[in-house]
């Protein structure tokens, strides 16, 4: 898609950042040929924001730093929990066996806490201030909306499109045990779809029909 965008717009990787303004929307074209929107408008910080979120080299560097920081945090947590467990073993058992058992239990608790922390961080990712603008947004018959409205629409449209890909399978019920998970999936999709409808309505655009009925 990036190569197609570059060919369509004539933008090359060597072109200045944001050199091809869009005629109707407050978006900018990045060196990869794609269109993006800064929630706060095109400012002196936009390029840095874009590179932090989308430039492959910057992403790899940040991922390496995050991995090192996460490993150090996990080691400290493991050692701390093991030491705490050993301390409890000394107080309770007053023997070398109790210390070893306490340290082992503490280390096990530390591993679980570290894993839960990592999973929580992965699941809490939210759209940043700079996001890619979907093709539907670029082609929509609107002119002159604020950057924040385009950002809201882009994020809502993208979220609904991703949810639409799997919701049909998530709400299928073949056994009674699946009723609860299907209801939760339908509720999540309904919230995502309503946010998309609100963003589209704000720009005077007709939303597409939901992928599944919002009520069972």
3-state secondary structure 30-61: CCCCCEEEECCCCCCCHHHHHHHHHCHHHHHH
Percentage of the chain with pLDDT > 90? 36
Q: Of 168, 171, 164, whose CA–CA distance to 136 is shortest? A: 164
Q: Please compute the mean of the pLDDT values over residues 102-119 and round it to a whole number.
A: 69
- How does pLDDT run across 48-105, given as a tens digit for each residue? 999 888 887 766 776 676 667 767 777 777 777 777 777 766 767 666 776 676 667 7
pLDDT at 80: 79
Residue 146's pLDDT is: 93
Q: Which two tokens stand for residue 22?
A: 């869009």
Q: Is the pLDDT of residue 151 over 90?
A: yes
Q: What is the band of 12 on the pLDDT scale with cuts at 50, 70, 90?
A: very low
Give the 3-state secondary structure of 159-204: HHHHHHHHHHHHCCCCCHHHHHHHHHHHHHHHHHHHHHHHHHHHCC
Domain ranges of the chain: 2-40+129-202, 56-123
pLDDT at 20: 64
């Amino acid at each position: 898609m990036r190569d197609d965008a570059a060919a369509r717009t004539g933008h090359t990787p060597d072109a200045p950042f944001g050199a091809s303004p869009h005629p109707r929307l407050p978006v900018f074209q990045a060196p990869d040929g794609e269109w993006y929107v800064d929630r706060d408008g095109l400012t002196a910080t936009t390029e840095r924001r874009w590179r932090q979120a989308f430039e492959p080299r910057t992403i790899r560097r940040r991922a390496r730093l995050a991995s090192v920081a996460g490993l150090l945090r996990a080691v400290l947590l493991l050692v701390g929990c093991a030491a705490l467990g050993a301390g409890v073993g000394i107080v309770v058992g007053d023997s070398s066996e109790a210390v070893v058992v306490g340290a082992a239990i503490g280390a096990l608790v530390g591993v679980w806490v570290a894993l839960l922390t990592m999973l929580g961080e992965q699941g809490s990712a939210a759209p940043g201030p700079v996001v890619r603008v979907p093709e539907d947004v670029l082609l929509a018959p609107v002119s002159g909306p604020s950057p924040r409205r385009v950002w809201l629409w882009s994020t809502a449209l993208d979220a609904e499109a991703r949810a639409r890909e799997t919701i049909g399978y998530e709400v299928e019920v073949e056994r009674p045990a699946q009723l609860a998970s299907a209801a939760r999936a339908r509720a999540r999709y309904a919230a995502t779809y309503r946010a998309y409808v609100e963003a589209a309505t704000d720009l005077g655009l007709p939303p597409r029909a939901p992928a599944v009925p919002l009520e069972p």
